[in-house]
Amino acid sequence: MNRKVLILKPRLDLPFKRFGLEKRKPRIEPIRVHWQNFVDKLAEYHGMRKDKVVIVEEQKWKFSMNLVRGGFNPDIAYIPHTDKQLFNGREECRYYMQTVFPWLFTVDKDGWGGKSSHSKIGWYEVAPDDDATFEEFKKRAIKGESKYNQPLAEFDNPFEDGFIFVPLQLPHDETIKYHSKVGVINFAVAIMKWAYEKRINVVFKNHPANPNSLEDVKLFAEQYSNAHWLEHQVNIHSLFAQAKAVYVINSGSAKEAMLHDVPIVRFGLADYNMAVIEGDIKDLERTWQKVLNLERRTMKENYRTFYNWFINRICYDSRNIGSFLKLR
């Protein structure tokens, strides 16, 4: 078709965000290698279509709409890790983002996660797959595999009445800043206070990427006897499997929790909006009643339909050029 295609590729040896003194890493982290693979497959796909492809590699924060139109004026531009509003993007822009399954990426005209166009649909329309996609990913969960390397140790549940599991997100993360009305500290403290009054145990897990960023939440947790703090000493899947419910703002780990058929409550916007319970941080009692009254058969059907739709209709596999044939 001979279209002009611009792919903005973030440098993988430097931070995506601007910190002031960025130090080049001697080797690319394994989780970032998938970004390279995705760009390679994307370029290969457009090459197959006889498009003219230009790849510009630079620190992610240096990309702008002025660069897209001023220097290249492409028919299609692929922009990493942002959305239409933040980038001030135009009609030629497509935004790509890594998912909780590191080899899978989304490409969307509006953005990613809770800002994506596919997050706003009414329900997940997809041909039945007899739960094959869900079951395939469940194998990964059973083996304890996750986005971040997991320890082998499992959580030894000491609570006779069970617990709510809260895998915490980074307070400064863009998915919190732009896809949620509640911040991480307010979210966690509200749950601590409500659960203390209800005598419900809550297990909070620190984020493995930047544990120090959640030190304030840890200090609050120490004030409540029913709030229990974990670092990265047990496998996250053992927590999903034993929890009475999983509460998140909009963490990608909720997709992993689905594989354990546990009730999930979200308090922000995500690309799995319709598959889980929508919580209200201002009315946690009503939210809890939604968990208790959840029809488990419907929940399981929703999770399996979501996986079929998300993996097969929305995601692009950086290992498989065939998955790019659905690009529009």
pLDDT in tens, the chain (328 residues): 689 999 999 999 988 877 666 677 788 889 999 999 999 999 999 999 999 999 999 999 999 999 998 878 999 999 999 999 999 999 999 999 999 999 999 999 999 999 999 998 877 888 999 999 999 999 999 999 999 999 999 999 999 999 999 999 999 999 999 999 999 999 999 999 999 999 999 999 999 888 899 999 999 999 999 999 999 999 999 999 999 999 999 999 999 999 999 999 999 999 999 999 999 999 999 999 999 999 999 999 999 999 999 999 999 999 999 999 999 7
At residue 1, the pLDDT reads 64
Contact 145, 224 (CB under 8 A): no
Residue ranges of domains in the chain: 4-123+313-326, 132-312
**313 vs 311: CA distance, rounded Å:** 6
* Element holding 37 (H helix, E strand): helix 30-48
Phi, psi of 24 (to 5 degrees): -65, 135
Query: What is the separation, in whole angstroms, between the first and last Cα of the chain?
Result: 13
Q: Which CATH superfamily is domain 132-312 in?
A: Glycogen Phosphorylase B; (3.40.50.2000)
At residue 23, the pLDDT reads 73
Q: Which residue has tokens 């005209």? A: 109
Residue 40 tokens, joined: 């390679």
